[in-house]
Amino acid sequence: MQKKINVTVWNEEDGNQAAYPEGIHVAIGAFLKNDEQIGTLRTATLNQPEHGLSQVILDDTDVLLWWGHSYHEAVDDTIVERVRQRVLLGMGLLVLHSGHASKIFQKLLGTNTGQLRWRESGDLERVWFIEHNHPITAGLGEYIEVPQSETYGEFFNIPIPDELISISWYSGGEVFRSGCTFKRGSGKIFYFSPGHESFRIYDMPDIQRVLKNAIGWPAPVGYPAVAADEHPKSAEDIYKESHQ
Ligand code: ZN
């Protein structure tokens, strides 16, 4: 049987998200609850000790979801570095919506990922999937239509993604790389932009399908566990040991 995936959903704060009085982390947790691929499902918020991301919790997390908007600066650099190290060692990271400007995303990608065009006018967004036959787009159609969304537009200051999963078009004319994958160390990162706090986009079954697929994609599948501060053996040593 395949190992279950332990998931932690992080949100910057309870109750600050207009359409989600329960908190976006609770709304996301609600539709993940019955997902059979998931083992332990946790939520964590900024106001908890260590932002709910102690080393113990992170070590037991296979995939971390990150939603932040107004309080990126309030996230402690020590915790950011702790998350970064876990990603480099193989933890999957899903960065959602305005999480594009989070410290962790900027630090892992190395560019000013906070830079993009945006507009809050409730435009229609059409999320076109351009990567077919991919675990993240499994079971989805050619596109998802989000009736009202926050507009994000290029230029989005990210490094060239390893895979461009989706491009969004908005009725106001902008386009945006709304679904992108990146690999950093042993860790896989997926950025997905639909998820503005003023519309209940996370209630849409197809959006939920993307997130569920995306949780299955970056989960660690077994890899040589080399600690960050450990030097791998030299090729020569490995050769000698195996030919004694
Ligand atoms: Zn937003």
Mind listing the pLDDT tens digit for each residue in 138-155?
999 999 999 999 999 999
Looking at residue 240, its pLDDT comes to 87
Assessment of whether the complete model's pTM goes beyond 0.75: yes
What per-residue confidence (pLDDT) applies to 219? 77
How confident is the prediction for the chain on average, in pLDDT?
Answer: 93
For residues 99-110, average pLDDT:
98
- Give domain status of residue 125, yes or no: no
Name which of 132, 94, 104 is nearest 216 in CA terms: 94
What is the end-to-end Cα distance of the chain in Å, rounded? 37
162 lies in some domain:
no
Tens of pLDDT along 19-42? 999 999 999 999 999 999 999 999
The reply to whether 146 falls in a domain is no
For residue 239, report the distance from its CA to the centre of ligand 1, in Å: 53
Residue ranges with CB less than 5 Å from ion ligand 1:
98, 150, 196
Tell me if 115 sits within 8 A of 156, measured CB to CB.
yes
In angstroms, what is the span from residue 195 Cα to ligand 1's centroid?
Answer: 7
Q: What is the pLDDT of residue 229?
A: 58
Work out the percent of the chain whose per-residue pLDDT is above 90.
84
Q: Which domain holds residue 20?
A: 5-114+179-242
CA-based nearest residue to 192, from 142, 156, 237: 156
pLDDT band at 125 (very low <50, low <70, confident <90, very high): very high
Does residue 65 sit within a domain? yes
C-alpha of residue 133 to centroid of ligand 1, in Å: 29
How do residues 151-199 score in pLDDT, each as one tens digit? 999 999 999 999 999 999 999 999 999 999 999 999 999 999 999 999 9
- The answer to whether residue 91 sits within a structural domain is yes
Q: What is the pLDDT of residue 178?
A: 98
**Number of domains the chain is built from:** 1
Report CA(152)–ligand 1 centroid distance (Å). 9
What are the DSSP calls for 161-185, one per residue? PSEEEEEEEETTS-EEEEEEEEEET
Q: How far is the CA of 21 from the centre of ligand 1 (A)?
A: 15
In the structure encoding, which two tokens stand for residue 106, read together? 């900027």
Residue 136 is assigned to a structural domain of this protein: no
Residue 38 located in a structural domain: yes
Q: State the CATH number of the domain containing residue 78.
A: 3.40.50.880
Cα 158 to Cα 156: distance, rounded to the nearest angstrom: 6
Q: Give residue 55 CA to ligand 1 midpoint distance, Å.
A: 29
Does residue 131 belong to any structural domain of this protein? no
